[in-house]
Amino acid sequence: TRLTALALGATPGQATLAMIREARFGIGAAAAAGFGAVISEVGAVMMVGGNIAGHTRVMTTAIVL
């Protein structure tokens, strides 16, 4: 996309902006998938490992809480 924009006469700034515009849905999907993976990991650890007030037994809950 960037090379195509440059070949069509866009400035480097315009080419970069076009590339970001084209990639925004992919970037958003990757961010949503990453957030979902983190939430599911914490949820699974909370169900299996538990979290007693003042005494955390697993590393994931120690990091998050």
Q: Is the pLDDT of residue 9 over 90?
A: yes
**Region 22-26 average pLDDT:** 94
Confidence at 32, pLDDT banded by 50, 70, 90 = very high
CA 4 to chain centre: 28
Residue 49 DSSP label: T
Number of domains making up the chain: 1
- Tell me, what's the pLDDT at 45? 73
* pTM exceeds cut of 0.75: no
Residues ≥6 apart with Cβ < 8 Å to 33: none
> Could you tell me the residue range of the domain that residue 17 belongs to?
2-64
Nearby residues of 56 by Cβ (< 8 Å), 6 or more positions away: 62, 65
* Confidence check: pLDDT of 2 > 70: yes
